[in-house]
Amino acid sequence: PLMLFKCLLLRNWFQINSDVDLESLINDRFSFKKFVGLPVGQSAPDSSTFSRFRKRLTMKKYNKVLSDISDQLSGKNLIINMGNTLDMKVIKSNRPS
């Protein structure tokens, strides 16, 4: 449950739009794997696991825990700068320079 909750924190903090994207990003980023506690060779839980966990948690409980975490971070003068994730691919153009 702790690992799944950490995954949901990443989804919230990085404004990840879907559970499928969350699964993909955890598998792609070493920093995300480290944060949630997954060994390098292990895959992230599948997207349906996130959905089932979130439903079991309920939004009221989820928001309460998020609020408590924010209060604790603020008490230690830590700030979470929420951001976005981007997928990019560099494509060589045939256009002359």
Report pLDDT digits (tens) over 15-65. 899 999 999 999 999 999 999 999 989 999 999 999 999 888 888 888 888
Coil, strand or helix: which one is 43? coil
**Is residue 78 very low, low, confident or very high in pLDDT (cuts 50, 70, 90)?**
confident
30 within 8 A of 71, measured Cβ to Cβ = no
pLDDT at 76: 87
pLDDT band at 97 (very low <50, low <70, confident <90, very high): low
> What is the pLDDT confidence band of residue 79, given thresholds at 50, 70 and 90?
confident
Cα–Cα distance, 56 to 8 (Å, whole number): 13
Average pLDDT over residues 64-68: 86
For the question of whether the overall pTM of this predicted structure is more than 0.95, the answer is no
